[in-house]
Amino acid sequence: MKKIFLRGAIAFATVLLMTGIPVLADDAETIEEVTEVVTIDSGNVAWMLTSSALVLMMTAPGLALFYGGLVRKKNILGVMMQCVFLMGMMSVIWAICGYSLAFGGTNPYFGNFDHLFLKGIIPSAELSMEASVDGMIFTVFQGMFFIITPALICGAFAERMKFSTMCVYSALWGVLIYCPIAHWVWADSGWLCEWNEAALFPALDFAGGTVVHISSGCSALVCAILVGKRLGFGQEPMPPHNLTYTTIGAALLWVGWFGFNAGSALAANAFAVNAFVATHMAAAAGVVAWAGAEWVKRGKPSILGACSGAVAGLVCITPAAGAVNPIHGLILGFIAGIGCFFACTTLKNHFGYDDSLDAFGVHGVGGTIGALLVGVFATVHITGGRVGLLEGNPGQMVNQVVSIAASAALGIIGSFILLKILDATMGLRVSQDEERQGLDLSQHDEEGYIFL
C-alpha cells in the first residue's frame, strides 16, 4: 500500500513539473512566457525584499531578545513564544483578510473583502507574474508591520497574561484596530492619507508613527491597567535577568529599522537614502539623550538606558523619516530620548501602572512626539510638496493632532472593549500559582535555563 501511494505521489509530482505547474495556476501564463515581458526594476525588488526581511527580523530575533532580556528568567520563553507565534499567526491572518481590510476598496474609513486570500495580488489567469510582482512586494512588506505591531503590545502585559488570551486579543486587535488605522493613513482613499486629495486631514506618517506606535502604545497602556500589576510589583525587585540579550536585541532592532523606515520609500531611491540616514541619526541622538539624562539624574548611565534611548529615537523618526532631513532627525531623536526617559520613570511612577517593558512609555509617547514634530519640521526639500509649521503651514499641525487623536482613540476604546469581553469569556491572566511558577513552565511546559 505504501509503495502504491509513493508511486502515485511521484507520478503526480512529475506531471506538475513537466507542465510548469499550470494545474494549480488556473491556466495562468507559465513562468517562461512571463519572463519574456517582465520589465520590473530588479534594484527596487532587491531592496524591498531585503527591507521586508529586515522588518521581520525586528520581531524575532530583535524584539524577542530585547523583551526577553528584560523579564525574569522564568518568563523568557513566554516572551519569545509570543513573538515567534505572532510571526506565524499574524502572517496567516494578513494573507486571508488583513491586507484586504487594510488596503481594499475606496471607502475613506475601512477596507473591504476584494482581496481575500490575496485575490488580485497573486498570479492567476487574470493577473500575470509581471503585473503581480509590485503588488506582492507591497503586500509582504506591509505584512511585516502587521506582525510586529501587536508584538510591541506584549511588553505591557509581560509575565502575566494567558497565552491563549494573548493570541485571541492579538488576532482581533489586528483585524479591528490595526487594519482600519492602516486604511485611514496609507490606503489611497484614506481620510488621513497625505496623497489623497480628498482626505479630510492629510497627515504625514511615512512609516507608522500613528499606524504602528501610537496604536500599539495606547493599547498597551489599556492592557497594563486592565490586566493588572504583576504579583509583588512595587514590593519586591524585578530587575531584567539578562541585559546582554536586551543589548543584542536593541542592536538588531536598530539595523532592522532601516528596512522599516527606508523600505517605506517602496523603492531604492533618494527618499530611501534620506530616510536611512535620518533614522540612524535619530537613534544615535536617542542613545545620547537617554543615557545623558540618567547620567545627570542618577550619576551613572546604563546600557539599558542607552538601548531604550535608541529605540525611542527610532520610534520618533518613524513618521517623519520621509519628510525631514538627517539634522532634523538628530533633533527628533534627542527630544524623544528625553521625553521617553521621563515617561518611563517619572510619569509611570507617578501613576503607578505596571507597563512591564515600557511599551507605552516608548512607543506611545515616542510615536506621539514624532507625529507632532513632523508637523513642525516637514520640509519641501524632502517631501517635494507638503511642509510643516516652520515653513509656513500651521494647518499641518492640525492634521497631525487629528491623526494622533484618532489612532489613540481607536486603540484605547477598541482594546478596552476587546479586553473586557475576553476577561469575561477566557480570563486575561494566569493564576497566581502559575504566575509565581513563571510562564515558561505554566504556559509552555518548557524552561529557558536548565542548571545541572
String of DSSP letters for 62-90: IIHHHHHHHS-GGGHHHHHHHHHHHHHHH
Q: What is the pLDDT of residues 362-411, one digit of tens each?
A: 999 999 999 999 999 999 999 999 999 999 999 999 999 999 999 999 99
Provide CATH code, domain 40-444. Answer: 1.10.3430.10
DSSP state string for 22-51: TTTTTSPPPHHHHHTT----HHHHHHHHHH
| Per-residue confidence band for 12, with pLDDT thresholds at 50, 70 and 90 | very low
Buried b (16+ CB within 10 A) or exposed e, 418-452: bbeebeeeeebbbeeeebeebbbbbbeeeebeeee
Angle at 286 between CA 282 and CA 287, to 5 degrees: 125
Query: Are residues 337 and 287 in contact, defined by beta-carbon separation less than 8 angstroms?
Result: yes
Angle at 217 between CA 212 and CA 222, to 5 degrees: 135
Categorize the per-residue pLDDT at 31 as very low, low, confident or very high, splitting at 50, 70 and 90. Answer: very low
State the Cα–Cα distance between residues 86 and 90, nearest whole angstrom.
5
Q: Which residues contact 180 (CB under 8 A, 6 or more apart)?
A: 101, 109, 110, 111, 410
- Cα-Cα-Cα-Cα torsion 54, 43, 203, 91, nearest 10 degrees, comes to -40
- For residue 8, the tally of other CB atoms under 10 A from its CB is 10
- Return the percentage of the chain with pLDDT > 90, whole number: 87
137: cell is: 512586494
- Residues 311-365: tens digit of each pLDDT: 999 999 999 999 999 999 999 999 999 999 999 999 999 999 999 999 999 999 9
DSSP label at 110? -
The answer, as to whether pTM is greater than 0.95, is no
